[in-house]
Amino acid sequence: MPDRFSRSQKTLLTVLFFINFFNYLDRQVIFPLFHNIQLSFHVDDFQLGLLGSVFMLVHSLTSLPFGLLADRFDRRKIIAVGVGIWSIATLVSGLAQSFKVLLGIRSVVGLGEAAYAPAATAMISDNFPAHRRATVQGIFNIGMFLGGTIGAMVGGLIAYYYHDWRLAFLLVGIPGIVLAIWATRLQDQRTNLPESKLSLASLRHNWPFIWVLIGSVLVTFAGGGFVTWGVEFIRRYEGYNLRDSALILGLVFMAAGILGVYFGSLLADWLHTKSSSGRSFLVGWSLILAAPLVFAGLTFGQGFFVYFFFGTMLISFYHGPVTAIIHEVVPRHLWASAFALYLLVSHLLGDSLAPAVIGRISDQVNLRVALQFSTVLIFLSGLAFLTVGFLLRPGQDGNQDDPERHS
């Protein structure tokens, strides 16, 4: 973390980073447990996919109300409540005695996690200078990759060695309760602006934002499919057992994701100093280049992990800049609400559908074809972000009232 950030800035980013880490750890730990859950409850691939789809459906539908609240009330309290809800629900997931009960509990986890990202991303942009926005959002999102991949690895290891999927939920739910308390003590330098007549409805005329939503739906669907079914794909087609599938894919996702998020965010901020479209063009071209790499990895047995590593790294260029792009094209007083709308649309039409849709295609054809279909969406997502870049006006920034805070 850059030394010139103040102590309160470093503390804020560190705490939000670790909350994001456990956010995604609790979210992704379930997927390597699919085989064991399937044996316990005797369900098919489509029903397993519902565990991901129902979670994301609830998460997306409740993100917008939480975003509206975060633009009006204490963001720290909203974060604390959300973290507490999802952590307790994760613990309770390990006690489910039927598939329907587990499905219901996972929807509560989705409700809790919906409160977090809109408030957290707005806090970060509000407490750091605009020219470092993609970089700090990228650091925040490294927690997503670490948490998601370690969650998948932990789930796979517990399933392999203990054959008890319930234990995984009981272990990973505890730290979030401590972090919920910690979140209430953060210093949030919220900027109070004059009341604006612009509402969330005004974004329906904001074409750069609309194209961000379109691109995000496409790449989020593809990403949701890979995260949900990646371990199972390796187990079925690459000849690895469950333990090795979770470990290897987890390490690939973690290394490629961290490198992609970090260097993509730095490069995006540098390109933004050259052009207001720099961040959008970087995201667009990285996704276009990633699509054939991932397709090759899914299609050809040899070199799967090499193709997937570089494909994942390029896809991960998206994660830091996308928040910065949203905060460029919408007014400051709508930051949390606009980000919540982004979560609503991208998750509702993206990764809430992906697990079940990919599962259905897998049932009808096979899992390889189902995941190959997702690579087309990655390519189209890249085209959408290039469109955002072409639509941006020189110097456009939804935060032009922002002094270089704490720079």
Residue-wise pLDDT for 48-78, tens only, equals 878 877 887 888 888 888 888 887 878 888 9
Q: What is the distance, to the nearest Å, from the Cα of residue 53 to the centroid of all Cα atoms in its chain?
A: 14
- Between 238 and 360, the more confident residue is 360
Cβ neighbour number for residue 324 with a 10 Å cutoff: 29
pLDDT tens-digit series, residues 255-297? 888 899 889 888 888 888 888 888 899 999 999 999 999 999 8
The rounded distance, in Å, linking the Cα atoms of 100 and 50 is: 10
**Cβ atoms of residues 313 and 257 within 8 Å:** yes
Q: What is the mean pLDDT of the chain?
A: 83
- Give the per-residue SS3 of 75-115: HHHHHHHHHHHHHHHHHHHCCCCCHHHHHHHHHHHHHHHHC
**Cβ atoms of residues 106 and 98 within 8 Å:** no
The one-letter amino acid at 368:
R
> Is the pLDDT confidence value at 398 over 50?
no
- The pair phi, psi for residue 309, each rounded to 5°, is -60, -55
Tokens 């963001």 belong to 75
Domains of the chain: 9-187+202-391 (1.20.1250.20)
Characterize 1-25 residue by residue with b for buried, 16 or more Cβ atoms within 10 angstroms of its Cβ, and e for exposed: eeeebeeebeebbebbbbbbbbbbb
Choose the weakest-confidence range: 39-43, 63-67, 130-134: 130-134
pLDDT at 330: 84
| Residue 333 per-residue DSSP state | G
Region 134-156: mean pLDDT is: 82
Q: Is the pTM of this model over 0.85?
A: no
